[in-house]
Each structure stands twice: as structure tokens, then as C-alpha cells.
Amino acid sequence: MRAVVARGYGGPKVLRLEEVARPRPGRGEVLVEVRAAGVNPVDWRLRRGEMRLLTGLKRTRILGRDVAGVVAATGEGVEGFRVGDKVYAMLGGVFGGGYAEYVAVEAGAVAPMPEKLSFEEAAGVPLVALTALRAVREALREVKENAPHACDAGALERRRVLINGASGGVGTFAVQLAKIFGAEVTAVCGARNAGFVREIGAARVIDYDEEDFASGGETYDVIFDVVANRSYRICKRVLRPGGVYVTTEPGPRQFASQVLTMPNDRKARVVLAKPSGDDLSMLGTLLDAGRLRVVLDRVYPLEEAAEAHAHGEAGHGNGKTVLSV
């Protein structure tokens, strides 16, 4: 089969289209014939060698955490999926393996593809939407549990959620999901994307070139720092009592804040994306009902994975970059 393999660490040019062996589904796995694969920041971080401790010994480095495609075969013990079903999934493992014509995926990570979405749109959903869902759902739950400590009873009615990095892959889902959960959303992004984040549900938009949300007069129940360029320490001044700061950056400083704030009224949290077929099914229902929308930035053919990385790495897209396989 054709696959894009990262040969060594470095710039986008280390990505090469090659012929490699087609995987076989093991016990409990589904073999997906990939029609589209999502491109995520973790892919270029792996490609650059930023996670060498995890990746050093692996020889076949096929990147790609998100796929949408068709079931080509099922392994022993798999129930609920048949050959020909349209599915989508977030892949586990270090590299994922989605930039390829076929990939074997653990059945628990697979969900029926939303009927109203194209393969390209569906491939733009899994990792970013699962991250946004975990972050926003768990932070709002925690704020609710902390509610008895909140000083302003009116604040209990309508949670105020700020998304820093609202126009990217994770951010666009975080804005929409926070709105679905009943929160009032403030989005932080570049001026160019202000209209677009309002369209998907932000009540207020802050242009990060004009205003620093962490030193303004407004306060929030949840601050979701998707870009991870603000810390809990900087944000706690604008976090309401009982509030939660959540970041996507799994660094030592962020984990230390999580532990150190355990006894505090205001908490810091790190969110880690996790494959989940159940959550993807739930997201699929919202997508099919038109309550949630996937925003595609650009679609590249598989053989232009290097160009797709260069575009994504520039860091100012609006929505998802996807490879068509």
C-alpha cells in the first residue's frame, strides 16, 4: 500500500511517499481503508523529533492520528462493524499511522462516520473534537462540583468560558461544545478570524494583538488555553472562585500546577486526548443534527503531506488541514 513515512527527524521534506506492507487486523481490531486523514500539530512535533524519548527506536514512522474511511476487514472478536461500513477514528500508539491507504485500529476507538459528512470533513474531527470535548466537559463538571464555593449566585446560571486559540482545530470544537453545554463563550484569536469564531458561537471575541485577556477586567469559570501560551499562574487572576484553567500542553510545569492546585479553590488541569468510539458516536450525532460543524481549512492529496505540514506549522489556519487518500 502507499503510505507517507517520516524518514528521520527534521523539516517537512523528511515525509516520503513509499510502498509499505499493508497491515492486518489483529484480535479486536478493524482494518480501515483510509479515504482521508487529519493533520494535527502532534504530527509535526513527532516529525521534528520533539518526542524522541518515545519515538527513538521506532523504525516505520507513519504519522496521522485521524482517519475516515471504509471497513476493509475485521479481526477476531470484533462485533458491531461490517466490511463496507463508513467509519472514523482517532488512532492510538505513538505515531498513529493514518497517512496510509490502510490502518488497523482498535475497535473501541472506531465509530460510524456521521452520515452528512464527506470523508475529508470526518477526518478533521476525531483528535481535536475529542480533546475539546474532554477539556470543556470535564472543566464544566468540575466547576459545577465547586459551585457551593462560588460567591456570585448569578454566575451559577451561565458559565463563562474563555477559549484561547479559538480559531484552530481544537478551538473551533471547544467554542461550539461550550455553547452546546450552555456556556457563554469568549474567543481569543487573531483579528482575521473574529467573524468566523462569532459565526460558530462565540458571544465575545478578543483579538490577542489588541488585548491581553489575562490582564483584563472580565473573569471566567473556565479558561481553556489551547495555544498554551498562558500559564495557570498568569490566568488565575481572571479565574472566578471554583474556576478551572485547562491546557493542552502536557509539560512538567503544567502537571506541577495540576498537583499544586489540588487543595485550592481554583484548579489547573492538563487535558490529554484519548481515543473513544463512544464519544465519537455522540459527536457524530451532533454533527449530523447540524448542532456541531467541522471547519476545513485546506485539503491536500496524500503525496503532498509535506506541503500540508508546512501550512499547518505556520500556526494561523482556521479549522482543519486534511489529506485526501
Ligand X SMILES: NC(=O)c1ccc[n+]([C@@H]2O[C@H](COP(=O)([O-])OP(=O)(O)OC[C@H]3O[C@@H](n4cnc5c(N)ncnc54)[C@H](OP(=O)(O)O)[C@@H]3O)[C@@H](O)[C@H]2O)c1
Q: What is the x/- site pattern for ligand X, positions 79-118, by CB under 6 A? A: ----------------------------------------
146 versus 248: smaller Cβ distance to ligand X: 248
Query: Does residue 229 belong to the site contacting ligand X (CB under 6 A)?
Result: yes
Grid cell, residue 112, equals: 460510524
What's the per-residue H, E or C state across the chain?
Answer: CEEEEECCCCCHHHEEEEECCCCCCCCCEEEEEEEEEEECHHHHHHHHCCCHHHHCCCCCCECCCEEEEEEEEECCCCCCCCCCCEEEEECCCCCCCCCECEEEEEHHHEEECCCCCCHHHHHCCHHHHHHHHHHHHHHHHHHHHCHHHCCCHHHHCCCEEEEECCCCHHHHHHHHHHHHCCCEEEEEECHHHHHHHHHCCCCEEEECCCCCHHHCCCCEEEEEECCCCCCHHHHHHHEEEEEEEEECCCCHHHHHHHHHCCCCCCEEEECCCCCCHHHHHHHHHHHHCCCCCCCEEEEEEHHHHHHHHHHHHCCCCCCEEEEEC
Interface segment toward ligand X; rule CB under 6 A; list 79-87, 142-150, 227-235, 302-310: 227-235
Query: Does residue 251 belong to the site contacting ligand X (CB under 6 A)?
Result: no
Applying CB under 6 A, the site for ligand X has a residue count of 31
Query: Does residue 38 belong to the site contacting ligand X (CB under 6 A)?
Result: no
21 versus 272: smaller Cβ distance to ligand X: 272
Interface segment toward ligand X; rule CB under 6 A; list 70-78, 89-97, 154-162, 269-277: 269-277
Residue of the chain from 42, 136, 155, 306 that contacts ligand X (CB under 6 A): 42
Provide, rounded to whole angstroms, the least separation between the CB of residue 145 and ligand X: 23
Across the strands, what pairs with 4?
Answer: 17
Query: Does residue 280 belong to the site contacting ligand X (CB under 6 A)?
Result: no
Provide, rounded to whole angstroms, the least separation between the CB of residue 125 and ligand X: 12
Interface segment toward ligand X; rule CB under 6 A; list 3-11, 26-34, 46-54, 223-231: 223-231
118 versus 193: smaller Cβ distance to ligand X: 193
Provide, rounded to whole angstroms, the least separation between the CB of residue 152 and ligand X: 27
Query: Does residue 208 belong to the site contacting ligand X (CB under 6 A)?
Result: yes
Across the strands, what pairs with 111?
Answer: 88
Q: What is the largest CA-CA distance in the chain?
A: 62
Provide, rounded to whole angstroms, the least separation between the CB of residue 126 and ligand X: 10
Query: Does residue 226 belong to the site contacting ligand X (CB under 6 A)?
Result: yes
25 versus 168: smaller Cβ distance to ligand X: 168
Site residues (CB under 6 A) for ligand X, limited to 144-203: 164-165, 167-171, 188-190, 193
Using only the alpha carbons of the chain, give its radius of gyration.
Answer: 20
Whether residue 12 contacts residue 4, with contact meaning beta carbons closer than 8 Å, is answered with no
Query: Does residue 250 belong to the site contacting ligand X (CB under 6 A)?
Result: yes
Site residues, ligand X (CB under 6 A): 40-42, 127-128, 131, 164-165, 167-171, 188-190, 193, 208, 226-229, 248, 250, 271-273, 312, 315-317
